């Protein structure tokens, strides 16, 4: 189903789930390239922009959180960008849908957004997507800070899970952002020309926003890597301390076990007929324990 809002010469077509009939309409009325129409039928395309004489076709990726607000997922935003129109097509990011519905309910906002050109409308869509992505990154930064605060607690399993989930999300966002950074540079450099004058500052603002978020992702990646290594070192140290204590116990118990084992055998041994044999052997065992503790202390092993 094709929904439309318009102001003057500018139209925004929003096609949520394009049918073959909808795609035929686009091909017939706008003369879009067959490959672009084919891209609209598929998902998981790489971010790109195809530049033609009378229109441009963009495929962009933006992150969002799943229903559990735990894992980051990727949404494609496919846009045909012509002189007098914007066509958003496919299961785009929910920001695009909400923005379209908002303009549909309040046409005056649509008039303000278009800036008398399709370039202005595209800028508004991209700006909203950037704001939403920035909010997601701030939330991700909060998770990194939470891990930093909980790093020294004893809930190792919970901390490991947080680190693993956050690292996975950062890696995914990194794979989303990296190929698109070059694409947004093309807007400011003029490689991608719009259909109206005076948009250079607006494209520069989008690039600045995107560059800022890219820097944030890189910072988070370095932080989570450092926190992960610190946590691994802490866990290794804790394991070493546990093994050290267990080794102390084993070292102390070894001669005691040997002595008690000897006196448990059915052979003639010194003092076994003595009336105070139990107390004598116990005293010897206690003396061994004290001697080993003093030895470990002097060696600074404990």
All structural domains of the chain with their residue ranges = 2-236, 263-302
* Phi, psi for 83 (deg, rounded to 5): -65, -35
Long-range contact set of residues 63-66: C-beta below 8 Å, sequence gap at least 24: 63/133, 63/136, 63/172, 63/173, 63/176, 64/93, 64/94, 64/132, 64/136, 65/136, 65/139
Average pLDDT, the chain: 85
pLDDT, one tens digit per residue, over 28-66 is 888 888 899 988 888 777 888 988 888 999 999 999 988
d(CA 201, CA 188): 8
Rounded Cα distance, 264 and 278, in Å: 12
Sequence-separated (6 or more) residues with CB below 8 Å from residue 179: 46, 47
Q: What pLDDT is stored for residue 114 in this prediction? A: 72
pLDDT class for 269, splitting at 50, 70, 90?
low
Bridge partner residues of 14 (DSSP): 3, 88
| Cβ-contact 42, 58 below 8 angstroms | no
Do residues 74 and 176 lie in contact, with contact meaning Cβ atoms separated by under 8 Å? yes
- What CATH architecture applies to the domain 2-236? 2-Layer Sandwich (3.30)
Beta 72-82 vs 55-65: how paired, if at all? antiparallel
pLDDT in tens, 191-239: 787 888 878 888 888 888 899 999 999 999 999 999 888 888 888 888 8
Confidence of residue 81 (pLDDT cuts 50, 70, 90): very high
- Answering whether pTM is above 0.85, one says no
């Amino acid at each position: 189903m094709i929904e439309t809002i318009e102001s003057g010469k500018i139209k925004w077509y929003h096609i949520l789930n394009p049918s073959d009939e909808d795609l035929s309409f686009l091909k017939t009325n706008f003369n879009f390239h067959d490959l672009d129409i084919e891209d609209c039928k598929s998902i998981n395309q790489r971010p790109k922009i195809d530049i033609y004489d009378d229109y441009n076709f963009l495929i962009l990726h933006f992150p969002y959180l799943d229903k559990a607000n735990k894992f980051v997922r990727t949404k494609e935003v496919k846009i045909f960008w012509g002189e007098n129109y914007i066509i958003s097509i496919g299961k785009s990011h929910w920001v695009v849908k909400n923005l379209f519905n908002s303009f549909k309910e309040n046409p005056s906002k649509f008039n303000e957004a278009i800036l008398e050109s399709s370039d202005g409308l595209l800028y508004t869509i991209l700006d909203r997507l950037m704001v939403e992505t920035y909010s997601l990154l701030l939330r991700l930064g909060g998770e990194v800070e939470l891990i930093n605060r909980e790093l020294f607690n004893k809930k190792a399993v919970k901390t490991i899970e947080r680190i693993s989930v956050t690292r996975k999300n950062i890696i995914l966002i990194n794979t989303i952002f990296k190929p698109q950074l070059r694409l947004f540079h093309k807007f400011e450099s003029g490689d991608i020309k719009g259909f109206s004058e005076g948009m250079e500052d607006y494209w520069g603002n989008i690039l600045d926003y995107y560059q800022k978020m890219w820097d944030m992702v890189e910072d988070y990646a370095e932080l989570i890597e450092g926190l992960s290594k610190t946590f691994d070192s802490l866990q290794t140290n804790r394991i070493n301390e546990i093994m050290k204590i267990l080794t102390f116990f084993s070292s102390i118990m070894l001669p005691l076990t040997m002595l008690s084992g000897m006196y448990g055998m059915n052979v003639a041994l010194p003092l076994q007929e003595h009336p105070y044999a139990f107390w004598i052997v116990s005293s010897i065992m206690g003396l061994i324990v004290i001697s080993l503790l003093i030895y470990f202390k002097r060696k600074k092993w404990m």
